Amino acid sequence: MNATDKIDKLIKNLKTTASPELDRRIDTLLERSKQSQTRSLNTWRKIMKNPITKFTAAAIIILAVLIGVYQITGSIDGSGVAWADVIRPVLKAVSVEYDAVIDETGDDPQRFHDVVVGPRIHRSYAEGPVQKAIIDTETKTLFLLVPSEKTAVTIYFRNLPEKLNPMSQVQNILLELQDDPGFEVQETGPETIDGQAAVGFWATHPQKELMIWADPVTSIPIRIDIKDVLAEDVICRNFQFNSQVSQSLMEMEVPQGFVHEKHMLDLAGLPEANLIEGLRFYAKLNDGLFPEDVSVLHCIQPDKDIQDRIETLTPHDQEALQILMQTIRQFLLLQYYRGPGQWHWIGTGVELGDANTPIYWYQSVDSSTYRVIYGDLHVEDATENELPKAGN
C-alpha cells in the first residue's frame, strides 16, 4: 500500500462521536420546530366537529386513503423470480388483513387495521371518533360507527368508479403493469426489519414509490412502506393472507341505542359554479392567493393560517364551510378520479382578481373543448391548442 492509499484509509477511518450535548441541542431545535410546525391533521378534526360536514369529511378521507393505498399497491410490478415470489401471495389472495399506520414517525400517527375480502373492507381505527368503517365497493356504501356519539352513519356513493374491488384491483393492476417501462424493482438484500429477517425490494414508478420487505424463507410480504398516500408514509405490517374472516365482521349493523344517519354523496364533479365559489372562498381565507396545489395533502392539511381561520368560522358561516368542503371534495375527487376527462391546476400563487392568469383548466368527460378558469374566476372555453402551457 503506497502512502496515498494509507492516507486515504486513515482519513476514511476518521471517527469523532457527536457529544450528548450536541444531541440535546439538536433535540431542542427539533422540538421547537415541532411546536411551530404548520401541518397538522387537526384541521380535519375541527371540520369534523361541525355537524354538517363531519361525516362527509370522514367519508372523503376514508375513501381517499383507501383508494390511494390500493392504487399505489397496485403499481407493483417486477420481473425477478424473487419479486414474483413475493407478489404471488397478493395475486392469489382471496382475503388479506394487515395493520397500517399513516405517518408513523410524525406527530400524529393514524393507526388502523384492515380486513379486505373481495369488494369489502373492514377498517378499525386505534383511536379517534370513528371506531370502524366498512366499505362495500360493490354496493358503493360506506358504514361508519361513531361510539362517542352513539351514531352510525351510512353513506351511499353515487358515481364511484366501477373498478374499485380492492382485491381484484390490486391483482389486475399487478398483471396489467407487467410491461410498464416506467416501473423498476431493485432488490436491496437481506435486512432486519421490525426485528425480523427480511429481503427488501425498492419499487419505483414515476408517480409512486414503495418499499416491500418479505420473509426470506416464505416470501410472504411482512411489511410494505407506501409513499405518496396523502403525501405521508403509510406502513402496512402483519399481513395475513386468506385468513378465515367472519361474515359478521362485514355486516353494516347499527348497534342498539345508536342513531342511524344516512347520507348520499355524489362523487361526480360538482357544478362549475360550486367550484368557482369554493376557490373564491379559499383565496379569501388565504389573503387573496389561490392554493399552492390541489393535492390531497394540501386539501386536508392546509397551511396553518388557513387552519386558524377555519377555526374562527362561526355557526353563521355554515354556508362558507360547506363551500370549502365542496371545493376540497372536488379536488380530492379530481386527484383520484381523473377518468377520461382532464384537468390541470396552474393557480399557484395567483391572486384572486387576476383576470389575465389562468388558474385551472379542465375537460369534461363528454366535451371536446376545455374550460379555463382565470384568477378573477371568469371562465372561457378553449380548444386544445389554446390551453395554457404551464400546469401540473
Partner 1 sequence: MIQEKLLMMRFNRGDHGALRNIYALYKDDLVSLASALLHDKTSAEDAVHDVFAELISKQATLKITQNLRQYLLTAVVNSARRQYHLHIKRPQTSLDAENAPDIETQSPPESPVMFDEQQRHLENALSALPHEQREVILLRHFSGFRFKKIAQMQNVSINTVQGRYRYGLDKLRSLLNGELL
In whole angstroms, give the CA distance from residue 136 to residue 117. Answer: 10
Please choose, from the candidates 209, 211, 151, the residue with its C-alpha nearest in 3D space to the C-alpha of residue 187: 211
In whole angstroms, give the CA distance from residue 250 to residue 263. Answer: 20
In whole angstroms, give the CA distance from residue 21 to residue 214. Answer: 39
In whole angstroms, give the CA distance from residue 190 to residue 213. Answer: 9
> Quick one: 32 or 262, whose CB is closer to partner 1?
32
The alpha helices in 37-96, defined as continuous H runs, are 42-49, 54-73, 81-92
Least distance from partner 1 to the Cβ atom of residue 171, Å: 26
Least distance from partner 1 to the Cβ atom of residue 354, Å: 23
Please choose, from the candidates 115, 131, 151, the residue with its C-alpha nearest in 3D space to the C-alpha of residue 255: 151
Determine which residue in the list 111, 227, 280, 309 makes contact with partner 1, applying CB under 8 A: 227
Determine which residue in the list 26, 175, 197, 390 makes contact with partner 1, applying CB under 8 A: 26
Determine which residue in the list 11, 81, 217, 355 makes contact with partner 1, applying CB under 8 A: 11
Please choose, from the candidates 229, 232, 235, 196, the residue with its C-alpha nearest in 3D space to the C-alpha of residue 212: 235
In whole angstroms, give the CA distance from residue 173 to residue 168. Answer: 8
235 binds partner 1 (CB under 8 A): no
Decide if 223 contacts 212 (C-beta within 8 A): yes
192 binds partner 1 (CB under 8 A): no
Site residues (CB under 8 A) for partner 1, limited to 39-58: 39
Least distance from partner 1 to the Cβ atom of residue 305, Å: 13
Applying CB under 8 A, what is the total number of residues that bind partner 1?
43
In whole angstroms, give the CA distance from residue 97 to residue 203. Answer: 22
Determine which residue in the list 50, 71, 164, 233 makes contact with partner 1, applying CB under 8 A: 233
C-alpha cell belonging to residue 10: 486513515
Determine which residue in the list 71, 87, 103, 290 makes contact with partner 1, applying CB under 8 A: 103
Least distance from partner 1 to the Cβ atom of residue 206, Å: 14
Stretch that binds partner 1, among 105-113, 163-171, 272-280, 356-364 (CB under 8 A): 105-113
Least distance from partner 1 to the Cβ atom of residue 13, Å: 8
Site residues (CB under 8 A) for partner 1, limited to 302-331: none
Contact positions vs partner 1 (CB under 8 A)? 3-4, 6-8, 10-19, 21-23, 25-26, 29-30, 33-34, 37-39, 103-107, 188, 200, 202, 209, 211, 225, 227, 231-233, 297
